[in-house]
Structure 1
């Protein structure tokens, strides 16, 4: 084995300690990250509820009163999602998941 080969082998056999790293936790970033995750999931559920409501309306399984209440509830829910999005300083795109080959969620 050449001198370089022995040096390389010796270096590989040495126990290499990774440098100590301190995890820097910025409370603001954690709050926004969690807020983004939660709002993304809430927005996804909202979109699914809207689609289901439209199917029920088109299927004729709701009375006029039920449609009115459902529409009002979905509108208030959308307003609250928007209020929280602004409060967390998130854009609409921040709440949109990229599903790879399936495309964007919204």
Structure 2
């Protein structure tokens, strides 16, 4: 209840809920994808991978990025839509 004694109500439009849930899920997937990509780059720069492993990682990372682009297009979201604003903490995803 709010201070006036009335109950708060949430407007749960099915289309809005589906879009917001899609946005949240894709944001989490994009965050994990970026973390994996950074870890791969660190391993490559550290010299811990063979040429074949580097090639495989490159192909995999490109495929993941394409899949994310396809999903964003399907749900009519842009990369900017996935970068949630956390207020004083800044945005969730780092700027590339």
Counting helix residues as a fraction of each chain, which structure ranks higher? 1
- Tell whether 2:63 aligns with 1:76: yes
Secondary structure, counterpart of 1:29 in structure 2: helix
* TM-score (normalizing by structure 1): 0.74
Shift of 1:19: 6.5
Q: TM-score scaled to structure 2, two decimals?
A: 0.80
Higher gyration radius (CA): 1
Of 46, 50, 71, which residue of structure 2 is paired with 1:59?
46
CA distance in 2, matches of 1:91, 1:32: 12
Structure 1 unmatched ranges of 5 or more: 1-15
Q: Which residue of 2 aligns with 1:42?
A: 29
Note the residue ranges of structure 2 that are not aligned, 5 or more in a row: none
Report the aligned-residue RMSD: 2.1
CA drift of 1:17 comes to 5.8
